[in-house]
Chains A and B, each alone.
Chain A
Amino acid sequence: MFSKYIATARMAVRGKTNGGVLYMFPDMAMRVMYLLPVMFIWGAFANSGYEVEMTVSQLLSYTWVNALLADMMIVNTCLSAWNYDTRSMEMFTRPMSGFGQIISGTVGEWLPMLTLFSLPMFLAAPLFGIRILPKTVWVIPSLILCVSLGFAFEFLFYCVTVRVRNAAWLTCVIRSAVVSFFSGTVIPFKILPFGMDRWMDYQPFGSLGGAFLALYVGSREPAQIIPVQVFWNIVMWIAAVCWFRRSRERMVSFGG
């Protein structure tokens, strides 16, 4: 039953690496270039004596783990690209569920980066004084819920793309900017001003990477995170399945 999905994932791995792993290097370099300034900002806060609600060690781990698992913290699939170059049509010609194709293909695309970048960076973390082990084993269900919710959002944003008559770029711009702030993956909610953390935790994007990372570094308790993640997963998946079924017949695709 799962062999076709495993085959899809394997194809995605090959698609990512068939030009040679060297071509993945720019992406890795960019991740490091993005990681370093954030880490030094936390260092600058620590040195200047500001009172921050999280310790520097927690902030550094938060940023480091986010860089390692960036693909999972905010799930990005090929759905938005597929709709403008006609490949989304092909999705309906295969004897597999649309959800299964997208999820297995995306997971396959993650694997080379996880193996070649995340694993070495995970092992290297102690050399830079980064505490890399999670505070609780609840991070495992939290990560699964985070990834699952990320896929639900992907399908919802895909439906938005279909409804706004294929304006994939528009969806992509809103999605990347809004989600990156409201997910709390770059700036933890706990250190935001005006008591914003009190409500940011409970908005739907807050159950993405930020929730997992807060649990990972121990700035939040599992009882605060997991129920909210479960709730948003149920709500968003029901919405995604229903809306996807209703939207796919409206799909229009051009290009090639």
Chain B
Amino acid sequence: MGKRGIKRYFELLGIYARMDLASLARDGKFMAIVIAADLISNISSISGIFLLAWKFGGIGGLDRFEVLFMLAYGNIVMGFLNMMGGCNALFPSRIIGRGQWEHMFVMPLPYALQLTVGIFPFTGSGSLLSGLGMLCVAVWNMETVLPWWWPGALLLLLLTSMVIVTALSYLFSSLAFYAPVQCEEISSTVVYSMEHTMTFPLSGMPFYIRYPLLSIFPAGLMAWFPTMIILGKTTAFETFYPAVFALAVSLAAAHFFRKGFRYYVQKGINRYIPGGHRS
């Protein structure tokens, strides 16, 4: 993506943001319901684990507000990705599986640009805002004294977690090039499963559960492990693990996605019947 591409990217983000604001302004009452629903659903989704932590004074070596910090971290990761990837940019298998990938061939924009545009900063930020709110409550009430560098580490780790989720989504979406019907929703299955599993503190779990959740199915890297790093409960060597993992999974995703794309260009897809409906 050249200099012009980057400029165009931000222009497109601006257009999407304006469209989102327009939808909010056109029907404020309805959009208020949407935002409230988003907030309620986010709070509901983490309340089970937090209530358990509250009742038992913490879970697996993390106290109540450390658990809340972890849940907030996960909410920020998913909230930001959902806000930025609202147009299925986070779920490329849907675009591929629905036969919409061809539509991108005729657009006068690079693929990377087309895949990354789509932002809902006003109506799609409920999860992000609830995450930020919970983070403030957690930090305010936490008994643990956080190191001076924690805000910087938080930003870097958030970025790393987002890269991991996005890369995994693209890695699994590569399968949709080969089996578009069956794998249309594979990216959402992967992302949503990680989203559900990330709420569990892995401290105190045996290594044969913890290690797979940090490697094969890295839900632990979406909230628990980064929280442990910020709380200073990991070794110096372990601190770099999320970044190394993010790099490895990104390279794998890039390789397999390109490979799948080449297959797709040769074989094509035909999911639409002449009447216009998808098969």
Q: Point out residues on A near B: beta carbons under 8 Å.
A: 19-20, 23, 26-27, 29-30, 33-34, 36-38, 40-41, 44-45, 47-48, 50, 85-86, 164-165, 167, 170, 173-174, 176-178, 180-182, 186-187, 191-193, 196, 256
A193 touches which of B41, B45, B54, B213 (Cβ 8 Å): B54
Which of chain B's residues 160-207 have a Cβ closer than 8 Å to chain A? Answer: 179, 181-183, 186, 189-190, 193, 196-197, 200-202, 204-206
Contact present for B33 and A177 (CB under 8 Å): no
CB-CB under 8 A for A38 and B34, given A178-B41, A181-B44: no
Contact present for A256 and B41 (CB under 8 Å): no
What chain B residues lie within 8 Å of A192 (beta carbons)? 51-52, 55
In the bound complex, how far is the Cα of B62 from the Cα of A41, in angstroms?
13
Closest chain A CB from B212 CB (angstroms)? 8
A45 touches which of B30, B54, B56, B182 (Cβ 8 Å): B56
In the bound complex, how far is the Cα of B29 from the Cα of A164, in angstroms?
11
Nearest residue (CB) in A for B127 is A173
Count of B interface residues, CB-CB < 8 Å: 43
Counting CB contacts under 8 A, is B10 at the interface? no
Given contacts A30-B193, A37-B202, A41-B60, 10 further A-B contacts (CB under 8 A): A20-B182, A36-B209, A37-B197, A37-B205, A40-B205, A41-B200, A181-B48, A182-B44, A187-B52, A256-B276
Nearest residue (CB) in B for A47 is B204
What chain B residues lie within 8 Å of A182 (beta carbons)? 44
What chain B residues lie within 8 Å of A48 (beta carbons)? 56, 204
Closest chain B CB from A205 CB (angstroms)? 11
| Binding site secondary structure of chain B | helix
Closest chain B CB from A59 CB (angstroms)? 11
Contact present for A44 and B30 (CB under 8 Å): no
Closest chain A CB from B134 CB (angstroms)? 15
Q: Residues 25-56 of chain B: 1 if any A CB is under 8 Å from the residue's CB, otherwise 0?
A: 00000100110011011101101110110111
What chain A residues lie within 8 Å of B202 (beta carbons)? 37
In the bound complex, how far is the Cα of B205 from the Cα of A30, in angstroms?
18
Contact present for A180 and B45 (CB under 8 Å): yes
Counting CB contacts under 8 A, is B72 at the interface? no
What chain A residues lie within 8 Å of B190 (beta carbons)? 26
